Amino acid sequence: MERGKILIFQVRTLTKTNGFTLLELILVVFLMSILLTFASVRWDFFVKDDGESFLERLSIEISLLRESVISDYEQKAIRFDITNNILNIGHVDPIKGFVSSRNIEIPDEHLLKSILINGEKISIGKAIMRFYPTGLVDRTIMHLEGKKKGFYSVIINPLTAKISEEHGHIEEIIVPKRDNPI
């Protein structure tokens, strides 16, 4: 070997091709499939109408109110204002009357027609449903009219304060008579 000579090696460079690599094609197909999935989903299916969200909110409010009454051992109430289509949550003061702490608004497309509390029907004005520290509530049926649903009734269970929706106008819950063999 000779001293002082520098050896130079030529490095092969990749030549530029006029196409995409397999990895780039897979990535593009993957991204397109994700975009098409989001574009083809019916998003209105996931959006609840105001009536369903109102019933959900009402159910949560009633459950929270019942739990608050039991834990505080203090009677509270919901006032149904049929004329103004509003529900008020608060308590009944012997001197001041009903003292409201917050409101639940009924959506515009739903109209509060009447209330049945402990068998007494109220169609005009205001009605009060009480929550007792024992966990019981007044037996209540709300009659509503919706633009899409028509007439329907919301029944509030007096033992558990759970609500259920029934189509049509229900005046009273009738328990079927059983034959007792004893």
C-beta of residue 131 within 8 angstroms of C-beta of residue 61: no
34-82 residue pLDDT tens: 888 877 766 655 555 555 678 888 888 899 899 999 999 999 999 999 9
Q: Is the pLDDT of residue 130 over 90?
A: yes
- The answer to whether position 20 is within a domain reads no
pLDDT of residue 15: 67
Nearest-angstrom CA–CA distance, 80 and 123: 10
* Number of domains, the chain: 1
- The answer to whether position 39 is within a domain reads no
β-bridge mates for residue 133, sequence order: none
- The answer to whether position 100 is within a domain reads yes
pLDDT of residue 115: 92
72-82 residue pLDDT tens: 999 999 999 99
Provide the edge-to-edge strand list for the sheet that holds 163-167.
120-122, 110-117, 140-146, 150-156, 163-167
Q: Confidence band (pLDDT; 50, 70, 90) for 176?
A: low
- The answer to whether position 57 is within a domain reads yes
pLDDT of residue 168: 82
- The answer to whether position 93 is within a domain reads yes
β-bridge mates for residue 146, sequence order: 110, 150
pTM, two decimal places: 0.65
Task: Write the DSSP assignment of 103-133 as a string of letters.
Answer: EEEPPTTEEEEEEEETTEEE-SSEEEEEE-T
Percent of the chain with pLDDT over 90: 24
CB proximity list for 124: less than 8 A, separation 6 or greater:
82, 83
CATH code for the domain in which residue 58 is found: 3.55.40.10
Q: Confidence band (pLDDT; 50, 70, 90) for 164?
A: confident
- The answer to whether position 122 is within a domain reads yes
Structural domain including 95 reads: 50-167
